[in-house]
Structure 1
């Protein structure tokens, strides 16, 4: 049978070969999305590219006028004023457009960068929401997403400076270089040829430097992620447990080992790029000096006037500078094709079918020969599960760790798709249903619920169903149901000045959220692991009474709680080992009876 997980693996592992096409596609993608501010920025760069050769030409003519002054003093004065006026405007514009510039245009840079970050994150978050959650099970996909998000948000080495501004510079400097080269050609062909050819070797070194930067980012992402994890661990509430166990030095050593390895790689990158920069400067200076020497020789041969030589000097300097900036910008721009391809690797992932959501009522759920393995792993977690769930049933899934209970629940709730076999809801394949339709039909409480901080207690409950108007009385009923009626409605989260809850209280809050959501299918995936057995039993009894006409799936390690279910499913080694009522399974004296005996101390109460 066809392994459908293999299709997702191919999508995850697929990396488009970086090309200039990806880069142009990315540039136009961002340009169209930020058209207004992008046009302003590009226009300013192009304006500057025309001002520099104009200044050089005015200076040359000024020298010619001064050389043959006579009665042309007024003309010389006007040309000098014009020269300094345009020079001042060009210097001011250049200082604002430079990355280290200050003033209104730098603010424009930040506005553009912020707009692009917002654009990217909106598109990326929408993309993440539109693809199968299964992709996120693969660490390589998480790394790829982290790299793309970092690229979008990096103010210095991100998309704003490395793609957009570099692209503007390339367009502007091409105009400038061609204009000046044409002017120099009119003075003497060798002048334009010399200054155009000399900086070309730097194109390779700039491109190489950017490739080194990309390789460093790609190879260091996992190392950086581990460093951040250990850093957060040492600064989080877990530090209390770490201190009591005497693990601070152990985790500090883990953090330092990875931080040092990251710094060593970073130092190597900086050293190599510094050497490349020295080579670049050498070529620039040689070309500049060569142009000046050639101009002096032409003056000595009478082929250039003093004014023309002055213009040539100015144009040569501008051309060398602009050629260098063009090559640097193009090298930087061109080197981002790797990241552009990486961005489209993510954006081109297959999305869940774009069907319209529909109201789904659970009548019957069936698993037929379901097998499942997580992407990029060879071992099957589920090895052929056959199961039928009828509406109104209260079913408990039990089994040891790794038996496949939670994985099967993820399949039933639509978070994963079978590698082999079929999952049917009301006779339809779950893959053929819109994901939102499936998610909307269920209330799910997981073992480690998310702590929605920066929201109040009541708002946390309201997050269970934000598509209907807020109902405070219903929120209070849900809190009472979960045992949190005595808590005040305060802001949650210490770092925002609110209060914190215990682990058990956070779990009860998640249960309140599910009660407020009030769906036909209720899935409780070990939601009470931080509660004592009595509290867990009480919660399950409440759900049974609350959900008389609803379907409830309860995943638990505590066999005593399974007594309260209409039906018990025992998982073992990725298969359903036993299926029946409590009394039926105890009479079998099989796996369930063994687990019951092992855990008997829990229910002698």
Structure 2
């Protein structure tokens, strides 16, 4: 019987747990995709996500161990309990005498390690980041050249020591408790032996039964130690992290209604204010204006003036702390991210460098349709990207990653790819959020002119602190300290003694020839 149960226990958990592992990974990725983008600005939410990722791995082992327990240990204990009860009812209590003290230990371990995980998550996030600064490819040039490796190594070591110290204290506490409970268990074990010997002396059981039960109880004690200290102990240790995985699944989502917005839609901000999570100062203050359908709008201002934040509010990436953003009268907070972003494209200042082929790097912005080479040619031309350049030895099939046996590109080339990606997506609203910093002014002017062509009869927004190209816009919004300081055309604002005129005069030597 034991061999049969052992065979079942070896096969079923492995097969089932592998499938569960895949579902757990998919579950956490789908959940993260449904979270509001603002959640990724909240350090507590980032800690929760980090803890959930850790809990996902623990959940895999939890499923594996639970299946093992129910396919081998539970049937074995049930059989042994029935045998002992049939022989002498009081002997069936031996299972409880062995089980209860150890089980109590594991309950305490669960609480201790749950608290440990809450304390460990922010520290673990720190040391993982410092480790990436030392070993990741994107950091190694700067950290080596500027001598930053030792600095990050010291930060990594400090964080690791703090994490190890937290784990050491938790482990010492549970080990002391476990020692006390083991003493109780051993006492119970000797009580059982006394009961057996007493039953033998009173001839309530035979010598053969005594030997069988004595051997069975020794075996039972060993297996119980294995299941509780090794398996259930591991479950108890990881139960806190598993709860973190479940907590992430319960985290509020962005939500909103899935529906297509029809017609030519104006975008209106009505007394919009916004705070970043944990911030006391408003990033955007009482912004009120309307972007007319088909209008090209420029948003300008110095660094830190709130330009990028107000764009995230316009697109629905962030929801206002106060006020409302509406598309054709529909509040963006009532719409799902799918509805909001279905006809929106953007090129952000902090664009991504996907380690994929050139065609995939561009076509990823509109995955609803197969990538067409003629469409790639069109957007590459408009963004100043040449697939026949020597950098792209295999044209659109060139892998853009040294780590995957491909090529590395300059900052300007990556920037053009990001712009091509934004142009490629089918859109009614397109945004350029300072994407041309690594491109020379002449090429920047050409790209903005192409952008003006692409944006014809569509709503477009240019975000920049360089004012040479904003004359392409129908209107200009000037941001200062999170507030809308001015709104108007270039001609209106340049003749007004305000923030725009001040910025323009400060940069005048950059584009005097264009005037």
Asked if TM exceeds 0.5, the reply is yes
Matches within 5 A, 1:448-597: 448-453=350-355, 455-485=356-386, 486-487=388-389, 488=392, 489=395, 490-597=398-505
CA–CA distance in structure 1, aligned partners of residues 263 and 453 of structure 2: 20
**The one of 132, 137, 140 aligned to 1:232:** 132
Distance 1:360 1:342, change over 3 A: farther
User: In the alignment, what sits opposite 1:387?
Assistant: 289
Contact 2:266 2:290 (C-alpha < 8 Å) held by counterparts? yes
Residue 288 (structure 1) aligned with residue 189 (structure 2): yes
Contact 1:361 1:520 in 2 (8 A): no
> 8 Å contact 1:361–1:441 — kept in the other structure?
no
Q: Does 1:417 align with 2:319?
A: yes
1:198 and 1:245 map into 2 onto residues whose CA distance is 61
Once the two structures are superposed, what CA deviation does each residue of 1:217-249 show, in whole Å capped at 9, x if it has no partner? 321122121112122112233322233333232
| CA displacement 1:16-58 (0-9 Å, x = unmatched) | xxxxxxxxxxxxxxxxxxxxxxxxxxxxxxxxxxx35xxxxxx
Residues 427, 173 of structure 1: alpha-carbon distance in 2 compared, 3 angstrom cutoff: same
Q: Give the drift of 1:263.
A: 2.7
Q: Deviations over 1:169-198 (max 9, x none)?
A: 168545543543343234334433355225
Q: Which residue of 2 aligns with 1:191?
A: 91
Cα offsets for 1:263-320 (capped at 9, x unmatched): 3333444444554554455444443343234323322332221111122113322433
Give how far 1:408 is off.
0.9
Measured after TM superposition, the shift of residue 498 of structure 1 is: 0.9
Aligned mates of 2:282, 2:162 — CA distance in 1: 35
Find the residue that maps to 2:370 and give its secondary structure: coil
RMSD: 2.7
Find the counterpart in structure 2 of residue 348 from structure 1.
250
2:205 matches 1:304: yes
* Aligned-pair CA distance for 1:133: 1.9
The aligned residue for residue 251 of structure 1 is 152
Query: 1:362·1:520 contact (CA, 8 Å) conserved in 2?
Result: no
Structure label with greater radius of gyration: 1
Distance 1:248 1:395 in 2: 44
Corresponding residue of 1:115: 19
Correspondences of 1:116-265 after superposition (within 5 Å): 116-153=20-57, 158-166=58-66, 168-169=68-69, 173-235=73-135, 236-265=137-166
Once the 2 structures are TM-superposed, how far is the Cα of residue 415 of structure 1 from its aligned partner? 0.5
Deviation of 1:414 after TM superposition, in Å, equals 1.3
Deviation at 1:532, TM superposition (A): 2.7
Contact 1:116 1:152 (8 Å CA) reproduced:
no
Distance in 2 (CA, whole Å) between partners of 1:528 and 1:568 is 19
What CA deviation, in whole Å up to 9, does each residue of 1:454-478 have, x standing for no partner? x211221111212123210110121
| Separation of aligned partners in 1, 2:75 and 2:17 | 25
Report the Cα offset of residue 334 of structure 1: 6.1
Distance in 2 between residues matched to 1:499 and 1:477, nearest whole Å:
23
SS at match of 1:400: coil
TM-superposed CA distance for 1:562, in Å, is 1.9
> Alpha carbons of 1:459 and 1:539: their partners in 2 closer, same or farther (altered >3 Å)?
same
CA apart distance, 1:543 = 0.6
Deviation, 1:496, is 0.8
Shift of 1:412: 1.0
CA separation of 1:252/1:407 partners in 2, compared to 1, >3 Å: closer, same or farther?
same
| Alpha-carbon contact 1:394-1:552 (below 8 Å) kept | yes
Q: 1:117 to 1:174 in 2, by over 3 A?
A: closer
Aligned-partner SS, 2:272: strand
What runs of 5+ residues in structure 2 fail to find an aligned partner?
Answer: none
Please give the alpha-carbon distance, in whole angstroms, between the structure 1 residues aligned to 2:15 and 2:227. 24
By how many angstroms is 1:577 displaced? 0.3
Tell which deviates more after alignment, 544-553 or 265-274. Answer: 265-274
CA contact (8 A) 1:195 1:288 kept: no
Q: 5+ residue gaps in structure 1?
A: 1-50, 53-88, 98-104
3-state SS of the aligned residue for 1:418? coil
2: CA distance, partners of 1:263 / 1:146: 18
Give yes or no for contact 2:312–2:318 (8 Å, CA) kept in 1: yes
1:313 aligns with 2:217: no
Whole-angstrom CA distance in 2 between matches of 1:95 and 1:283:
33
TM-score, scaled to structure 1: 0.77
Secondary structure, counterpart of 1:200 in structure 2: helix
Name the CA distance, whole Å, in 2 between partners of 1:375 and 1:244. Answer: 36
1:77 maps to what in 2? Answer: none
Q: Is the 8 A contact 1:214 1:338 kept in 2?
A: yes
Distance 2:246 2:95 in 1: 38
TM-superposed CA distance for 1:427, in Å, is 1.8
1:114-153 per-residue CA deviation (whole Å, 9 max, x = no partner) reads: 3222101212222222332222221211221222222223
